Amino acid sequence: MWKKKTTIAALSTLLLAGALPAGTNAAVVTKSVQAFYHDIKIRYNGVVVPTTTEPFIIDGTTYVPLRMVSTLFNKNVGWDGTTYTIDITDIPDSRIAALEAQIANKDSQIKSLEQQLQSARNRISALEDEQDDEDDVEERINDLEDDLNDDYEDYFEDLELAVKLDGDEDEIEAEIRVDLGEYKDEWEALSDSDIEELVEDFVNDIWDEFEDADVDGVIYDTDGRKDLYDFEGDASKEEIFLDGDEIE
């Protein structure tokens, strides 16, 4: 490996005097320096980088081509001869732009998923509220059924009745049950007005708890397993029907 020493005339900025603009007002100073060339190589990430301008050493400082080194670091280099300024700027990296676009797309997807998740949570909350309401209505119907069984068990003397309710707050399905195998004589002794009064009192008791519920019911013989009477209650009109005829 050989070493060479060269004396060169340079500006203090290491720019050749001939490269300076003639019209500048700044004082131009020249001086002779000794530059040492020692076959200096530039290695970037372990790979030797070729350069058309060989690096050199002056007073223990190694000088390398700025433009070549800036390119390695993805920079632009410009020379402003008016102000004697070297401008170094970033070179836009298309990979960064692509990554930023991907990130923006992912952010959009995340936002959409978050909105879907919130919508699902709102739906679940609404369903839970509906279920709570349904549970509350079911509990009220069960409580009313218990109360009606207590009230109507001895509605007629020597004749036991039972009540079964189902439905919701808009429509109640009802059964008044009687065992004619045990109470046939007592049942047959009832008059039409007795049956009408029974149905009227029964529907009104339901409306006391569910005033907007229509009532669809039967009087059912548990022994013969058949319907004895049909009755209805129209809540909006406050009308009660027994076998299709309105009870006056």
Least Cα distance to 81 among 17, 28, 20 occurs for 20
Q: In the chain, which stretches have pLDDT less than 50?
A: 1-2, 7-23
- Structure confidence by residue, pLDDT tens digits, 209-219: 999 999 999 99
Backbone angles phi, psi at 158, to 5 degrees: 65, 20
Contact assessment for residue 156 and residue 195, using Cβ atoms and an 8 Å cutoff? no
Q: For residue 29, what is the enclosing H or E element?
A: none
- Structure confidence by residue, pLDDT tens digits, 117-132: 999 988 888 887 777 6
What pLDDT is stored for residue 144 in this prediction?
93
pTM value is 0.51
What pLDDT is stored for residue 28 in this prediction?
72
For 6-24, the DSSP string reads EEEEEETTS--GGGS-TT-
What pLDDT is stored for residue 5 in this prediction?
55
What pLDDT is stored for residue 214 in this prediction?
96
Domains of the chain by start residue, with CATH: 4-66 (no CATH), 138-246 (3.30.300)
What pLDDT is stored for residue 240 in this prediction?
96
